[in-house]
Amino acid sequence: MSQKYVYLFNEGNAGMKNLLGGKGANLAEMTGLGLPVPYGFTVSTEACTRYYEDGETIADEIVEQIKAALAVAEEKAGKKFGSTENPFLVSVRSGARASMPGMMDTILNLGLNDETVKALAKLTGNERFAYDSYRRFIQMFSDVVMEVEKANFDKIFDGAKEKYGCEMDTDLTAEHLKEIVEAYKAMFKSEKGFDFPQDPMTQLIEAVKAVFRSWDNPRAIVYRRMNDIPASWGTAVNVQSMVFGNMGDDSGTGVAFTRNPATGEKALFGEYLMNAQGEDVVAGIRTPETIDHLRDTNEAVYNEFVRIADILEKHYRDMQDMEFTIEKGKLYMLQTRSGKRTAAAALQIAVDLVNEGMRTKDEAIQMIDPKSLDALLHPTFDPVALKAAKPVATGLAASPGAACGIVYFSADEAKAAHEAGSQVILARKETSPEDIEGMTASQGILTAFGGMTSHAAVVARQLGTCCVSGCKEAQINEEAKTITFSDGTVLHEGDWISLDGTTGKVYAEAIKTVDAELSGNFATIMEWADSFRTLKVRTNADSPSQAAMAVKFGAEGIGLCRTEHMFFDEARIPAMRQMIVSKNADERKAALAKILPMQRDDFKGIYKAMEGRPVTIRFLDPPLHEFLPTKEEDIRELAGNMNLSYEELKATIDGLHESNPMMGHRGCRLSITYPEIAEMQTRAVIEAAIEVRQETGLEIVPEIMIPLVGDVKELAYVKGFVVETAKKVMQERGMVIPYMVGTMIEIPRAALTADEVATEAEFFSFGTNDLTQMTFGFSRDDAGKFLPDYYAKKIFESDPFARVDQLGVGKLMQIAVELGKKTRPNIKLGICGEHGGDPSSVEFCHRIGLNYVSCSPFRVPIARLAAAQAALSNK
Amino acid sequence: MSQKYVYLFNEGNAGMKNLLGGKGANLAEMTGLGLPVPYGFTVSTEACTRYYEDGETIADEIVEQIKAALAVAEEKAGKKFGSTENPFLVSVRSGARASMPGMMDTILNLGLNDETVKALAKLTGNERFAYDSYRRFIQMFSDVVMEVEKANFDKIFDGAKEKYGCEMDTDLTAEHLKEIVEAYKAMFKSEKGFDFPQDPMTQLIEAVKAVFRSWDNPRAIVYRRMNDIPASWGTAVNVQSMVFGNMGDDSGTGVAFTRNPATGEKALFGEYLMNAQGEDVVAGIRTPETIDHLRDTNEAVYNEFVRIADILEKHYRDMQDMEFTIEKGKLYMLQTRSGKRTAAAALQIAVDLVNEGMRTKDEAIQMIDPKSLDALLHPTFDPVALKAAKPVATGLAASPGAACGIVYFSADEAKAAHEAGSQVILARKETSPEDIEGMTASQGILTAFGGMTSHAAVVARQLGTCCVSGCKEAQINEEAKTITFSDGTVLHEGDWISLDGTTGKVYAEAIKTVDAELSGNFATIMEWADSFRTLKVRTNADSPSQAAMAVKFGAEGIGLCRTEHMFFDEARIPAMRQMIVSKNADERKAALAKILPMQRDDFKGIYKAMEGRPVTIRFLDPPLHEFLPTKEEDIRELAGNMNLSYEELKATIDGLHESNPMMGHRGCRLSITYPEIAEMQTRAVIEAAIEVRQETGLEIVPEIMIPLVGDVKELAYVKGFVVETAKKVMQERGMVIPYMVGTMIEIPRAALTADEVATEAEFFSFGTNDLTQMTFGFSRDDAGKFLPDYYAKKIFESDPFARVDQLGVGKLMQIAVELGKKTRPNIKLGICGEHGGDPSSVEFCHRIGLNYVSCSPFRVPIARLAAAQAALSNK
C-alpha cells in the first residue's frame, strides 16, 4: 500500500504537528472540538520532503490522494470543483511545524475561472463580490505561484481606480472589476506567454507545488538558520473550503489574541474588517476596528467568538492567536495557534496561567523562550519618545539594548567626557584592544566596519553595552570627528546620538531610555527556574563591575576571568610591553613585578564583588604580539618611550609575527617559555585571596585555569610553578588557603587524552570557541568569508559558534567528560565558551553531565531558564 | 622485602636489557657463556628511575645493595676496597637499553687513593703504572663526576711533559707522575674547595650518581629525541673489576667487529693499542694497530680472540662490536653488542646471515633500520674525491644526497642553464612557489634562510633533490649574484659548488658524485620485504617524472597527487590568477577553460608513468592568495599584465587576506564557493583517463580526493558536481570508465563523524600533517618558535609532525577507521601525510588496518621495509 500523504481535517489532531504542520494540526484539532471550521484537508510535510527527493516534482500518488480528499470536501460542501452551477472554491495555505515568515502564505478563492465566476455571481446574487474575488485570485495566484510581479497588477488596478475616479477599492463596481479581470489576464498572457490557468485542478496542484517551493526560498532559509529549524522538516499545505468575508457588510474577517501579546494582560485583543478578505486587514488601506467594536455592532457573533476563544485557551492552556471570518453573519474559525508575545508578555502570561491554575510551574517555565529574556535585561527606548524618532542608518545589531549619549571619536575623549559626567557614545571605524577603557566608559558603541564577531561586538556583548557594528551607512571620520550618514545627516563631536543595539538602528538625536526591570514577573520566573535546575550558572567577567552586574543577574560564580583584558589598560600596557621586549628572565621578572600589584588588586576587587562565590581565573592567553602596535608611527613612539631604537622594537615585533596566530605561541605555551608569567599570576591570585580573607573574612577558593593545554605534560609543567609559587606565598603570608588548578579543554587533543589530563587537572572548563575552531578546522576570523555560502547551499544550517555542534565538537566534549571522570570521578566540569549562554547548548551541557555553564553577565538569566528547561525535559 | 636494584653478573642474561641496560645484560650473558669477563655487578635502570623520583638522590637501600654486591665481587677477586695490601679497583660504566652517545661513559681505576696507589705499585712492582693509573683516575673522576674542567688537567700534564722534555706520555717516569698527581690534587682542591675524595666507597657512590645524572644532560636529551628513546627508560650502571691494559708491553686494549661495519664484508675488523687504557685508543695520540697485527705479534691471544668472536657472533646471530683488554698476556672481554653499521653493510650482513643459514629471511628483514635506507637512495660523493675536499660552511641537512653543479641565483637562470645542458645548483635567500621550475631543474638547492620545513626543504624532499637550507654561514646576494661564506670565500654565478644534503656541508668546489645502486643486496632485501608486508606502499607525486622515479623505488600507486603544484608553473600561473580575479562564474569558467588542457595533460603524463596503478588526485587545496604576489612592485607589474588598476588588484589581494590561512578559505571550501573549479578538475581527470585508455589501453581508475572535509554535506555538495561532470564527460566521449570519489581525513571533525562522511566517501586518506596541526592546535609554521622549549622541558620527546602522535592524532585515526568501516565495510583506507614514510607511523598504520601508506618517492623503500617489519612484528 502506498504511503498516506493527505489527511482530511477529521483524520488529524493537534499532536500531529510534525506531519500536518502547526496550522493543519490545529485545524484538525478544532474540527475535532466541534468548532465551526470550514472543511478541508492537509497535504503532509512528508509530501514536501518527497517533492524535494523527487527533484522538485509532485508524485502521481500524491496528486491522486489530493483528488480523493478534494472529492470528500466537495461532497461535504455539496459543491463541485469547476462547476458552473455550484462551484467549489478553496483556500490554499502553507503550514510548517513552526510558523515561518518568508514562506508563501495564502491563496484564496482558488477554483475561480471565467465560468465559475459567473456561477458564483449568480449563486450569491452579487456580481461585484464574484469579480472582486476573481481579480484577487488572479493577482495572488499569478504573484506567488506564477511569479508575475505584483507591481504589474497594482498598476492596472490603480489605473482603473483613477480612470473611474474611485477613491476606495469598494467604490469599484462589478463592471469595473470585470474590466480589471480582463486586463489582468491579458497582462498575464503577455508576461508568461500562455493563458491564465482555467482548470481548477491545475490551479490547485500548481498552488501546492508553489507552497513546497517556498519552503526553500532565500528568506525562508535565512529564517530557518536564525531559528534552528532543519531544512528536512518541510512544510504542509492546507486546502480548505472558502468562506467569504467579502460577501457584503454582514461579512468580515479578523485576527485576535486571547490575551494582550505586548503586555500579557488578560483581555481579548484583536482587530477585524467588515466586507474584506484576509489580505485587506494587513494591507492597511482601510483601518481595521478593534475587537471590542464587534461587541457593539454584532453582539451575537462577538459572544460566539468569546465563547470559542475561551474554549480554545482552556483547551490549549495557552494564549491563542486566532483568525476568523464572518460570512453573512456566521462565524468561522480559520486558524488558532499559541500566540507570539513579547518577552514581558511571556512572563506575565506564564505567571498568570500558574495563578489561574491552568498550568503548573514547571509547565510555565517551559513555555518561555529563554533567548527572549535578553530583551528584558537591557535599557530600551521610551516607546513614546521612540515613536517620534526617525533612524538615519541601520547597522548590525551587535549587542542589545538602547543607548543615548554624546558622540566621541576616540577612546580617550570618551573616557574623559564620561569622567566629567557625560553620557557618552563612542564612534570608531573599528575598535581595537587599546580602546577598552573608552568602550567601558560608553553607553553605546558604533562602528563603521566589522561584523557580529568583531572586537567591538564581542567586547560590547561581554560588557553588556549596546553596540551597532558594521554600519555601512555611517562614514566615520576619526580625524575630522564627524559621522556622515548616507542620508546626508552629519554629526560632530559633542552632538547627541542614540543607538538601538537590538535592531541595529542609529538615530541622530537624543531619545529617552528606560532601564531594565528585574523584579516582578522576572524575579518570579527566575525563582521558579532556579528551583528546577541542577546545572549551576556562572559568568564570564573580567572586572569587579562586570562581576557585580552578573551577581545581580544571578551568577553563582565566575567561570572565566580573562586576565589579559586587564593589561590593555593604558596604565598597565607599558609594563606588559616591557615584559615582552625583555631580553632575559631577570628583565622579564622586573617588568612582571610592576604588573603584580595591579593584577592582585584586580583579583581582590573581583573576589569582593563575588562575595565568596567561586572564581575561575584563566592565565594569560593571547599571543604577545597583540600587546604591541603594528603601525610604523606607533612603533616609533613606543620605541622612544621604551628607550629602544625603532629597528630594535620593529625586530621584536617582526619576530613575534605568526602565520596562524590562532594556533601559535599563546595559552600555556607562553608560560612554558616564560614560567615567570605563571609565577607572577599565581602570586597575584593567592595574595589577593589571602588579603581579601584577612580584610573581609570571605573564604576565597580560587580556581586557576591553564589555557590551551593539549598534553598533560604541558599542564604538569606549568602547574609545577603554580604549586611552588602558591606554597611560597602562603608561607610568606603565614596563611594556608585552598585553591584548585585545572584547565580549559579547547584543543581536540586535550579532549582525546582527557584521562591523562585529568591526572593533573582538578577541573575542566570547555573552551568551546577554540574547540569549535579547531574541530572544524576553521578560523572564526576568516570563516565569515565562506560561511555565507555554506548557509546558502544548506551545508550548515546553524552557526557552530553560536550553538554547540553536538555531532563533532559535542562528541569531543562527551569523550572528555567520560575520560576525565574515569580518572577523577568528582572532577568539576564546566563550559566557558560563548555557547554557555545558548539554550540548546545549555541543554546539551546538562545532558552530558557538566556541573555548570558560564556565560556573559547578560546571558546569565537566559542560562538559568535554559538550565531549568533542560532539567525538566530530561527528567 | 625491598626491591632488587643491583644484579651480579651471574644473576643476569641478555634478555634483561630493559633492566640491566645493553652493556650489563651482555656482560651477564658473556659471564654465563663462560667467557673471560672481569667480574662485577649492574645497578639497574629502575635504580635510575628511583633516583629521579627521589629528587636526584640515591636511596639508602640502593647503597646497601651496592655494598653487598661489591662484597661478593671483592670476595671473588680476593681483594678489598681501600686495602693497602691488595686493593680492589673497579671500572664504572653507564649502559642504557640502547647505546646512547652523549652520556657519561667510563671511569676507570676507581678505588685508587693516596694509600691504595702505593699498594698497587708494590703489588705490581710497577710504580709508574700505579701512578699513571692514579693520575688517569683523578682526571676522569674530577671531570665527569665532579665537573672540574678537563683543560685544567691537560695544562698540568702538558706542562710536566714540557718541563721534563717528554714527547710521549709513556716517556714520563713514576716520579714525574707522582708530581703530576700532587699537582692534580692541589688544583682540584683550589677548584672545588675540598680535597679529592679518598674514600673508595664515596668515589663509587658519586660515580653511580654521575652516571644517573648524565642520563639527563642536554646532549643525551637531544639524542633521545632524535632516536625516539623515552626519558622514562633510565640508564643502568656497570661496576666491574679492573683489568689493566697499561701494565706493560704484554698488556693492551682494543675494539673489534666480527664483520666490516662499513661494507659488511665477513672478516674480523678492529684495532688495539698495547700498554694502554681504553681512552688512549680513541684519544688518537698513538696510532692503534689493526687487529691483524695481533696475529703476527701474539698469535695465542689472537686465536683466543677469534674463537671468542666466533662464539659471540654465533650466539647472538649478528655482527658483534666487542671491547677487550689484555692484561699481562691474558685476554678479557669487556663488552659485546650488535655492531652499528652503515646502510650498505646492514644489507650485506642481512643477506649474508641468511645465506650462511644463521638467520631466516624474516629475521634478517627485522634487523635493518628502515630509516637507514635513505642513505642508499641518493647520490653520494666519491669517497676519494670527498677526502680531498674542505667544507666552507654548514647549514641544515634539509634533503639528503650529494650534488655538484654550477651555481645560479634565480630560478629562471637555473632553468635556462639546465636546459642548455649544465649541472646546476640553485642558491637563494629562500625559495617561494614561483621558483618551482628552477628547483626542479637543479641538482641541489642552497638557501640562507628557512628551516627544515621551509619551502625549499619541503619541496626538495618531495623532489628527492639535495638541499642545504638555513645556511647562516652563507651570505647570498641575489642581485650581485654572489655567495660570501663566513670564511671569506666568495662564489660568483657560474662557479662550481657542491652540497651534501645528508650532512648540511657546503663545498666551494666541484666534487665527483656517485649514483645510488638499487640492485644487488638492496633489491634482494626489498624483494623479501615485499613478500612479508600486507600494507601497500604508494607515493606522493605531482609530476610524471616524480611518478616514474617512485615506480622505480617500488611505489604501487599514487596516494597524493597535489594538483595546485601544477599551477605555479610560469606558463600557467597567469590563467590561475585570471581565475582568481574573476568577477563572476562566467569569467571564472573562461579562465578555468585555459587551465583545463594543461591539467589534463599533467594527468595523462602521470597516468602513463604509473602504468595503470591507482592514482589519487587531490583537488585544489591552498588558499587562493598563495597564487598572488605580495610585494608592491610585483602587484603593479601583474596589474599591468592583467589590464587591472593597481588599486583593483591590491583590493582583491587584500580581500583574500586571512588571519589564519591554515584554517581559512581553502580545500573543499574553495569548490563550495566556486564549484566551477571542481568541475574543471573533474573534467581534466576523466578526460585524461579516457584519452590514456584510448592511446595506450591502460585501464585508469582515478581516485578523486576532496580535501579539508569536516562535514559530510561539504563532500556531498562537491561530489555532486564531480559526478555530474564525470557523467557529462563520459557521454561526450562515448566511453564509461570507473572512478572513485573520496576524501582526506585531515580535520578532527571529519574523523569524529567518519560514519557520516563514509556515506559519501568511497575512500579515506589520512592527511596527518593538517590533522596533527588541528588536533594539537598548533600551526607548523609557528610551532618552530616554541617547540624547542617543549623538547628542552621534556614536554614533547618526539616531533609529532615526523612521527604520528598515537595517543591523540592516532586516536582520531582509529575512531575514523572504526566509524568509516561501520558505514562502508570495504572502504579503502590510506595515509598521505609525511608520516607515511616514518617507520613507527607505518607500523601504527598497519596495526589500525589501513590498506596503504603513501610517502615521497625516496621514502617508498623505507615504507616497504617498515611495512614488512610491521607485518612480521604483528603476526
- Contact between A665 and B809 using a beta-carbon 8 Å cutoff: no
* Statement: residue A282 has pLDDT above 70: no
Q: What angle do CA B571, B573, B576 make, to 5 degrees?
A: 130
Chain B residues with CB-CB distance to A708 below 8 A: 777
What is the rounded distance in angstroms from the CA atom of residue B707 to the CA atom of residue A855? 35
CA A544, A547, A552, A557 torsion: positive or negative? negative
Those residues with Cβ within 8 angstroms of residue A416's Cβ, 6 or more apart along the chain or in another chain:
none
pLDDT attached to residue A374? 84
pLDDT tens, residue by residue, A63-77:
999 999 999 999 999
Residue whose C-alpha cell is 623505488: B553
Instruction: Collapse the DSSP code of A192 into the 3-class scheme (helix H, G, I; strand E, B; otherwise coil) and give the result.
Output: helix
* Statement: residue B1 has pLDDT above 60: no
Please measure the distance between the N-terminal and C-terminal CA atoms of chain B and give it in whole angstroms.
39
Q: What angle do CA A143, A146, A151 make, to 5 degrees?
A: 30
Chain B residues with CB-CB distance to A777 below 8 A: 663, 708, 710, 746-749, 770, 774
Residue A456 CB burial class (10 angstroms; 0-12, 13-18, ≥19):
buried
pLDDT attached to residue B583? 86
- Contact between B782 and A746 using a beta-carbon 8 Å cutoff: no
Q: Which three cell numbers stand for residue B400?
A: 639528503
- Contact between A713 and B672 using a beta-carbon 8 Å cutoff: no
Q: How far is B342 from chain A (nearest CA, A)?
A: 36
Residue whose C-alpha cell is 654550477: B406
Quick check: A805 contacting B, CB < 8 Å? yes
* Statement: residue B567 has pLDDT above 90: no
Name the percent of chain B lying above pLDDT 90: 76
**Closest CB to B665 among A785, A795, A796:** A785
Give the E-state strand segments of A1-151 in sequence order.
Answer: 6-8, 40-43, 90-96, 106-110
* Statement: residue A109 has pLDDT above 60: yes
Confirm if B811 and B783 have CB atoms less than 8 A apart: no
Residue whose C-alpha cell is 558603541: A445
Q: Which three cell numbers stand for residue B4?
A: 632488587
- Please report which confidence band the pLDDT of residue A318 belongs to, taking 50, 70 and 90 as the band edges: very high
* Statement: residue A194 has pLDDT above 90: yes
- Please report which confidence band the pLDDT of residue B285 belongs to, taking 50, 70 and 90 as the band edges: low
- Contact between B795 and A713 using a beta-carbon 8 Å cutoff: yes
CA A327, A330, A336, A341 torsion: positive or negative? positive
Query: In 3D, which of A200, A179, A192, A58 has the Cα closest to residue A119?
Result: A200
Q: Which of B795, B818, B819 to mutate to test the interface with A (most CBs of A within 10 A)?
A: B795
Confirm if A113 and A198 have CB atoms less than 8 A apart: yes
Residue of B nearest to A790 (CA): B672
Confirm if B447 and B431 have CB atoms less than 8 A apart: yes
pLDDT tens, residue by residue, B176-212:
999 999 999 999 999 999 999 999 999 999 999 999 9
pLDDT attached to residue A788? 84
Q: Which three cell numbers stand for residue A677?
A: 608569567
| pLDDT averaged over every residue in chain B | 92
pLDDT tens, residue by residue, B674-724:
999 999 999 999 999 999 999 999 999 999 999 999 999 999 999 999 999
pLDDT attached to residue A432? 84
Confirm if B799 and A683 have CB atoms less than 8 A apart: no
What is the rounded distance in angstroms from the CA atom of residue A766 to the CA atom of residue A780? 17
Residue whose C-alpha cell is 612582571: A592
Q: Which residues of A697-707 are buried (b: 16+ CB within 10 A; e: fewer)?
A: eeebebbbbbb
Quick check: B661 contacting A, CB < 8 Å? yes
What string of DSSP letters covers A388-456? T---SEE-EEEE-SEEEEEEESSHHHHHHHHHTT--EEEEESS--GGGHHHHHH-SEEEESS--TTSHH
Confirm if A554 and A861 have CB atoms less than 8 A apart: yes
- Please report which confidence band the pLDDT of residue A102 belongs to, taking 50, 70 and 90 as the band edges: low
pLDDT attached to residue B530? 97
- Please report which confidence band the pLDDT of residue A219 belongs to, taking 50, 70 and 90 as the band edges: confident
Alpha helices in B141-258 (DSSP H): 150-163, 174-192, 200-214, 218-226
Confirm if B757 and B749 have CB atoms less than 8 A apart: no
Query: In 3D, which of A23, A44, A30, A29 has the Cα closest to residue A93?
Result: A23
Q: How far is B53 from chain A (nearest CA, A)?
A: 15
pLDDT tens, residue by residue, A741-758:
999 999 999 999 999 999
- Contact between A781 and B708 using a beta-carbon 8 Å cutoff: no
CA B425, B431, B435, B437 torsion: positive or negative? positive
Helical (H) or strand (E) element with A270 = strand A269-274
- Range with the lowest mean pLDDT among A327-341, A691-705, B555-569? B555-569
What is the rounded distance in angstroms from the CA atom of residue B139 to the CA atom of residue B129? 15
Quick check: A432 contacting B, CB < 8 Å? no
Residue whose C-alpha cell is 474584506: A276
Strand B558-562 and strand B536-540: the pairing is: parallel
pLDDT tens, residue by residue, A474-484:
999 999 999 99
Those residues with Cβ within 8 angstroms of residue B208's Cβ, 6 or more apart along the chain or in another chain:
B43, B58, B66, B92, B237, B239
Q: Which three cell numbers stand for residue A865?
A: 531558564
Quick check: B808 contacting A, CB < 8 Å? yes
Quick check: A462 contacting B, CB < 8 Å? no
Residue of B nearest to A746 (CA): B777
Phi, psi of A172 (to 5 degrees): -70, 140
What residues of B are labeled active site?
A: 455, 832
Residue whose C-alpha cell is 570618551: A414
pTM of the model: 0.84
Name the percent of chain A lying above pLDDT 70: 99
Confirm if A130 and A121 have CB atoms less than 8 A apart: yes
- Please report which confidence band the pLDDT of residue A99 belongs to, taking 50, 70 and 90 as the band edges: confident
Quick check: A752 contacting B, CB < 8 Å? yes
What string of DSSP letters covers A511-554? --EE----SHHHHHHHHHHHHH--SEEEEE-SSHHHHHHHHHTT
Confirm if A680 and A729 have CB atoms less than 8 A apart: no
Name the percent of chain A lying above pLDDT 90: 75
* Statement: residue B284 has pLDDT above 60: no
Alpha helices in A78-169 (DSSP H): 116-124, 127-140, 150-163
Averaged pLDDT for residues A616-621: 96
Query: In 3D, which of B874, B869, B764 has the Cα closest to residue B816?
Result: B764
- Please report which confidence band the pLDDT of residue A445 belongs to, taking 50, 70 and 90 as the band edges: very high
What string of DSSP letters covers B698-738? ----EEEEE-S--SHHHHHHHHHHHHHHHHHHHHHHT----
Other CB atoms within 10 A of residue B400 CB: 22
B714-720 long-range CB contacts below 8 Å, 24 or more apart? B714/A795, B714/B668, B714/B669, B714/B672, B715/B668, B715/B743, B715/B757, B715/B760, B715/B761, B716/B760, B717/A793, B717/A795, B717/B672, B718/B619, B718/B668, B718/B671, B718/B672, B718/B675, B718/B678, B719/B760
pLDDT attached to residue A663? 93
Query: In 3D, which of B476, B483, B477, B436 has the Cα closest to residue B460?
Result: B436
| pLDDT averaged over every residue in chain A | 92
pLDDT tens, residue by residue, B525-558:
999 999 999 999 999 999 998 999 999 999 999 9
Those residues with Cβ within 8 angstroms of residue B51's Cβ, 6 or more apart along the chain or in another chain:
B57, B58, B59, B62, B209, B212
Residue of A nearest to B712 (CA): A795
Phi-psi sector, A611: left (phi>0), alpha (psi -120 to 50), beta:
left
Quick check: A734 contacting B, CB < 8 Å? no
What string of DSSP letters covers A287-332? PPEEHHHHHHH-HHHHHHHHHHHHHHHHHHTS-EEEEEEEETTEEE
What residues of A are labeled active site?
A: 455, 832
Q: What is the CA radius of gyration of chain B?
A: 32
- Contact between B660 and A665 using a beta-carbon 8 Å cutoff: no
What is the rounded distance in angstroms from the CA atom of residue B439 to the CA atom of residue B456? 8
Q: What angle do CA B677, B683, B685 make, to 5 degrees?
A: 100
- Please report which confidence band the pLDDT of residue A28 belongs to, taking 50, 70 and 90 as the band edges: very high
What is the rounded distance in angstroms from the CA atom of residue A141 to the CA atom of residue A75? 25
Residue of A nearest to B662 (CA): A660
A24-31 long-range CB contacts below 8 Å, 24 or more apart? A24/A95, A24/A236, A24/A238, A26/A335, A26/A336, A26/A337, A27/A238, A27/A240, A27/A335, A29/A315, A30/A312, A30/A333, A30/A336
